[in-house]
A and B are shown apart, each in its own frame.
Chain A
Amino acid sequence: MKPAEPFARFAYQRHADQARAKPACHPVVIIGAGPVGLTLAIDLKLRGIDCVLLDDQDRIGEGSRAICFAKRTLEIWDRLGCAAPMLDKGVRWNVGKVFQGEDLLYQFDLLAEPGHKMPAFINLQQYYAEKFLVDRAQALGVDLRWLNRVIGLQSGAQGARITVETPDCTYFLDARFVIACDGARSPLRSMLDLEFMGEQFEDQFLIADVRMTADFPVERWFWFDPPFHGGQSCLLHKQPDDVWRIDLQLSPHADTEHEKRPEVVRPRIARMLGHGAFELEWISVYRFQCRRLERFVHGAVIFAGDAAHQVSPFGARGANSGVQDADNLGWKLAAALRGSAGLIESYDQERSQAADENILNSTRATDFIAPRHKAEARFRNAALALARQTEFGKRFVNSGRLSTPTTYADSPLSTKDAAPWSAGPPPGAPIPDAPFRNGYLSERLGDGFALLHWRASAAAAEALGVVDVSDEDEALIARFGLTPGAGYLIRPDRHVAARFHQMRQGALTAALSRAGAA
């Protein structure tokens, strides 16, 4: 294996804040320039909020890490103006295959209905995603400070003061809000002495990035008990640049340091591929973990992404849910800084629900992939055997349920339907994309609240973006279950706040107020 080189490196620059006699005060300081922190910083910048983004490193690199970015994440990045390079570079895939031994048990096709701007998934090394986000943040003039490590935190209800260590001095920063996007080992979580509750599973997985030219199709391949790795599970996924991600299950008692050695990894992978014509790019070992903070909001300090919750990787729920945390938080922070602090509590409520949903799905997949004892393994194997001949057996097989955005049921921001709807996303649900005019609905919506309606009198909505649906927009009308006169109130994060069969000023005003738009 070649010595690891950083994929990108950034210069530390001394900032004027470091020389101030009195700490500078910023509305928002974000800790951690990973996918979550960068997404939030770009969102806030576009909302005109001054924020500082600190990172304790000066580089991007160290392996592919998160590789599957889901449609919802791409829609968010498209709104922020940085999806195009991701789509150009990323590998699109729709088909997943599940094998047992040498046999194909079944395959699934994620190909969504037509009329969505974004694909179901792309595979892209996290370092590419981060690089494109950094490019966008820098183009917008985000105050991004490398080699700025937070070493102290004093937090109150009205703000926080952090101590930051840099290569040439230690300085203080004050902030109305500090957002901890500092990853699974979150130092800020430790500084507040918060418990990361949940479970760690015994089984270990080895991840290897392998560079080779191969004519495997661009599909997700998952093996239970493959011939080249008896009794364990394995996942193969294609990334850009002829890099393939291989996840191999190890026994609970495997010696991690031994298993990570290239001379131990190489023969395993050669057995799997049937040849040795590949280069190892990156090797890592991890254990499945499902954990979360009990609360994501602690006074002026708010946790997002892996710092707030961690799941097992089979399902692409880590980075994707973190980016959705940022999407949920950005507009609420902007509102809080204008004086409506109540919305922040709904971040905790809504994203807690999402974290629980992700942990539930992730735990179920983990139980299936890595049965804990003999009886569990027996049921798993029975399901696999039944999958060969029955439809219901296939549905029991769980090699990871892939990330979809959460519907915020019972959100305090939602207005309940006054009458039943036969179709369309209910209050709290993410809206689907749809063709609109010569493009897509997702392109027509901006960064704020929007009113989507079909032949309603939309005089109500002066302060809103308005999507005026016409009779020709048949797919959109069907997808939203619209009837003439009906409309949806859509939140800045593109979840449904309310919907009405007949738009009326009073009800719309009340729904806007409930959703925090007023």
Chain B
Amino acid sequence: MTGLDTKARFADPDAAYRAIIEAHRGLTESQSADLNAALVLILANQLGDIAVLREALALARATIGQQSDA
């Protein structure tokens, strides 16, 4: 069984996505990257499971190159 849950876990995913976007509003690109770095560390600690963290990192890595630049 995989540890990373890829099913939707939020009752309202739109609200969660919106909350993340809003946190970045008004930030420069560099500040935005700083915020993401802090957020990743906070969420990784909340996860507290190195195996699941590695799965999440692998999934994120797999999206590199699949994201089209706007």
Q: Do A and B bind each other?
A: yes
Seen from chain A, the residues whose Cβ lies within 8 Å of a Cβ on chain B are: 375, 378-379, 381-383, 385-386, 392-393, 396
Contact A379 B42, beta carbon cutoff 8 Å? no
Contacts of A375 in B (CB 8 A): 33, 37
Contacts of A392 in B (CB 8 A): 41, 45
Q: How far is the CA of A393 from the CA of B45 in the complex (A)?
A: 9
Interface string of B35-70 (1 = CB under 8 A from A): 001101110010000000000000000000000000
Contacts of A378 in B (CB 8 A): 33-34, 37
A148–chain B nearest beta-carbon distance, Å: 51
| Cβ-closest chain B residue relative to A391 | B45
A375-B33, A382-B41 given; name 12 further pairs at CB < 8 Å.
A375-B37, A378-B33, A378-B37, A379-B37, A382-B34, A382-B38, A382-B40, A383-B41, A386-B41, A386-B42, A392-B41, A392-B45
Cβ-Cβ contact count across A and B, 8 Å cutoff:
24
User: B interface, how many residues as a size bin?
Assistant: under 10
Q: How far is the CA of A382 from the CA of B44 in the complex (A)?
A: 13
A34–chain B nearest beta-carbon distance, Å: 38
Nearest 8 pairs between A and B by C-beta? A382-B37, A382-B38, A392-B45, A378-B37, A379-B37, A382-B41, A378-B33, A383-B41
B37–chain A nearest beta-carbon distance, Å: 4
Q: How far is the CA of A386 from the CA of B45 in the complex (A)?
A: 12
| Cβ-closest chain B residue relative to A396 | B41
B32–chain A nearest beta-carbon distance, Å: 11
Contacts of A383 in B (CB 8 A): 41
11 residue pairs of the A-B complex, CB under 8 angstroms, read A375-B37, A378-B37, A379-B40, A381-B34, A381-B37, A382-B34, A382-B41, A383-B41, A386-B38, A392-B41, A393-B41
Contacts of A393 in B (CB 8 A): 41
Contacts of B42 in A (CB 8 A): 386
Chain B CB within 10 Å — which of A378, A381, A383, A385 has the most? Answer: A378
Contacts of A385 in B (CB 8 A): 38
B10–chain A nearest beta-carbon distance, Å: 23
B4–chain A nearest beta-carbon distance, Å: 21
Contacts of B40 in A (CB 8 A): 379, 382
B41–chain A nearest beta-carbon distance, Å: 6
Contacts of B34 in A (CB 8 A): 378, 381-382
Q: How far is the CA of A144 from the CA of B37 in the complex (A)?
A: 56
